[in-house]
Chain A
Amino acid sequence: AQSVSQHNHHVILSEAASLELGCNYSYGGTVNLFWYVQYPGQHLQLLLKYFSGDPLVKGIKGFEAEFIKSKFSFNLRKPSVQWSDTAEYFCAVGQAGTALIFGKGTTLSVSS
């Protein structure tokens, strides 16, 4: 069955700490991979995406993610987090034109 697993439910960091959020998926065939962010009280917004090509993709606000096909992973990273990065982060997987399957989300809390 198709699924997306996010390893961390809640991550707490201090400002300037480095961040890595894990995402593994189970999906047959070629996939598109996404990270979405949901700030408190807001809707989901696209952070970055991978369709093909360079497996290291850069998104907005200094985030990046690396697609490792052999590990079925698409981990999100940021070298130095800020208080404003406090949000919930969702990994999602899908094929072109079809619905995305989302992970359960990781809540990131950044203290100043």
Chain B
Amino acid sequence: DAGVIQSPRHEVTEMGQEVTLRCKPISGHNSLFWYRQTMMRGLELLIYFNNNVPIDDSGMPEDRFSAKMPNASFSTLKIQPSEPRDSAVYFCASLGGANVLTFGAGSRLTVL
């Protein structure tokens, strides 16, 4: 299995631009999570899905952030418009029957 696949690995954009991060979970995993990692706040849960349904989005910072999971093999996290304080590493992770969270390599976002 290729593991959790995230793209892009690095994104540099200007303030006000739309950013879309993508994630392909491990096949057969029913839950998908988006986390954000910063030096100041550590790892924060943004949102998670069970069977493609959003369960808890209380960690989404504000309305500029949105996430979708149209099918079991794909999810997106969108920021529109982006701001410099959104600069972080965004991790996607999926959870299977063994109850162990497997992380992707992350998407490093820099907003200028």
Q: How many chain B residues have a CB neighbour from A under 8 Å? A: 21
Q: In the complex, are the beta carbons of B100 and A43 less than 8 A apart?
A: no
> Interface extent on A, as a size class?
20 to 34
Q: Does B25 contact A (CB under 8 A)?
A: no
Using CB atoms, name the residue of chain B closest to A92. B101
8 A Cβ contacts from A38-91 to B: 42-46, 49, 51, 90
- Stretch binding the partner chain, chosen from A10-18, A20-28, A100-108: A100-108
Q: In the complex, are the beta carbons of A42 and B105 less than 8 A apart?
A: yes
- Stretch binding the partner chain, chosen from B16-24, B43-51, B78-86: B43-51
| Interface of B, helix, strand, loop or mixed by DSSP | strand
Q: How far is the CA of A44 from the CA of B36 in the complex (A)?
A: 12
Q: In the complex, are the beta carbons of A103 and B99 less than 8 A apart?
A: no
Which residues from B are CB-within-8-Å of A46?
100-102
Q: How far is the CA of A101 from the CA of B100 in the complex (A)?
A: 13
Q: In the complex, are the beta carbons of A99 and B43 less than 8 A apart?
A: no
Q: In the complex, are the beta carbons of B91 and A99 less than 8 A apart?
A: no
User: What is the CB-to-nearest-CB distance from B107 to chain A, in angstroms, rounded to a whole number?
Assistant: 11
Which residues from B are CB-within-8-Å of A51?
99
Q: In the complex, are the beta carbons of A96 and B99 less than 8 A apart?
A: yes
Contact with A along B71-109 (1 / 0, CB 8 A): 000000000000000000001010100011111111000
A residues with a Cβ closer than 8 A to B are 32, 34, 36, 42-46, 49, 51, 90, 92, 96-105
B residues with a Cβ closer than 8 A to A are 31, 33, 35, 41-43, 45, 48, 50, 56, 91, 93, 95, 99-106
Residue pairs across A and B with Cβ atoms less than 8 A apart, 19 shown, are A32-B99, A43-B103, A43-B106, A44-B43, A44-B91, A44-B93, A44-B103, A46-B102, A51-B99, A90-B43, A97-B31, A97-B50, A97-B99, A98-B48, A99-B45, A99-B48, A102-B35, A102-B42, A102-B43
Known: A98-B48, A102-B42. 17 other contacts (CB 8 A): A36-B103, A43-B91, A43-B106, A44-B43, A44-B91, A44-B103, A45-B103, A90-B42, A90-B43, A96-B99, A97-B31, A99-B33, A99-B56, A100-B45, A102-B35, A102-B43, A103-B42
